[in-house]
Amino acid sequence: MQDDLFGDTLPKPPAAEASASAPASPIVPGTDAPTRRSRSGTVAPIAPDGALTTLAAALPPRLRLGTSSWTYPGWKGLVWEGEHSDTQLSKQGLAVYAQHPLMRTVSIDRSFYRPLTVSQYERYASQVPDDFRFVVKAPSVVTDALVRSEDGRGRQPNPAFLSPELARSECVEPALQGLGHKLGALVFQLSPLPLAQLDRMPALLDRLRAMLLALPPLAPLAPDGVIAVEVRDPEWLTPDFAAMLRAAGATYCLGLHAKMPPLQDQLPMLRALWPGPLVCRWNLNPVHGPYGYEEAERLYEPYDRLHHPAPETRAALAAVIAGTTGRGQNAFVTISNHAEGCAPLTVRGVAEEVAKLAAR
């Protein structure tokens, strides 16, 4: 990728976004769609919104925007009509979510906590249109260097960390067989590493390379499929890491998370791997700090409005999307509620920025 591939449209790094000490005044979403309780326990999509449909038509066909999971009752009036429990949405919400004009992908996050079966993936695939693509998180049994205790903390070395056998049998093969051509990106999110391992980066790169090279090819069943590696330690971001990913046929997952440098500082990884698809996961607003997930959860629930709008990040991400799709590459971008407070509204905001660039 040329150094200026995204340079013409990237805004200056945000000066105040990460330093805010108090939440901004909540922005209540506006929508023309009526909100009413569901009938007969059925989840129904929001009424057609001409503005949303027009916006979706203005986006690059190779862009697939979406959210992390879909089971949030607070999205009433934004994705579905009426009030529903998270249990009901876990069963019926995906099919309704996939009818939203902007939602062309979703991240299956539950697979991080427990491997899913072929039949579970098949059920997901049966609920979405043919052009929909899934982003799948690899299970933590493979991607965590430490075994987690019940409180989620790493306690002891994980002997299965980066196991080629488990990565293949517990992740790639079930997802590939169950989702087929609807598999978009398969993300190995490497959790923060203990200092002792960070000091042995060459050995880690060798171990990761061995795992990636042992994985079966995705293309025969999933032509759009890509293996991506997301990290939570800046120490990974080196030319050696990029070279290893390229040699293994994988790509880098742009991780917008408070533990990682700002988007602009991660662009050298994308340039080193060019040409190739974009995989991005916008996970956590930096206003909460690197360990602020629980704080964001407490503040943002029920995820029905924006609390910390990040216009600079939206514009920067839109520039990367436009630079990627404009040169014929796919882009898979998923956004968490913890990015700004309400993932569907953030998706719409990013889409509007992309549409502006496409209209130039």
pLDDT band at 113 (very low <50, low <70, confident <90, very high): very high
Of all residues in the chain, what percent carry a pLDDT higher than 70? 87
Residue 49 is predicted with a pLDDT of 86
**Res 35 pLDDT > 80:** no
Contacts of 342 (CB under 8 A, 6+ apart): 29, 74, 75, 78, 300, 303, 304, 305, 306
**Res 40 pLDDT > 80:** no
Residue 245 is predicted with a pLDDT of 98
Domain regions of the chain by residue span: 46-358
275: preceding bond cis by omega (within 30 degrees) = yes
pLDDT band at 336 (very low <50, low <70, confident <90, very high): very high
| CATH (residue range 46-358) | 3.20.20.410
Which tens digit of pLDDT belongs to each residue from 263-287?
Answer: 999 999 999 999 999 999 999 999 9
Question: Residue 44 forms beta bridges with which residues?
Answer: 81
- Cα distance between residue 154 and residue 193, in whole Å: 10
Pairing assessment for the beta strands 278-282 and 103-108 based on DSSP bridges? unpaired
58: left (phi over 0), alpha (psi -120 to 50) or beta: alpha
Residue 311 is predicted with a pLDDT of 97
Residue 69 is predicted with a pLDDT of 95
**Res 29 pLDDT > 90:** no
Which tens digit of pLDDT belongs to each residue from 235-250?
Answer: 999 999 999 999 999 9
Which tens digit of pLDDT belongs to each residue from 92-102?
Answer: 999 999 999 99
- Cα distance between residue 72 and residue 176, in whole Å: 27
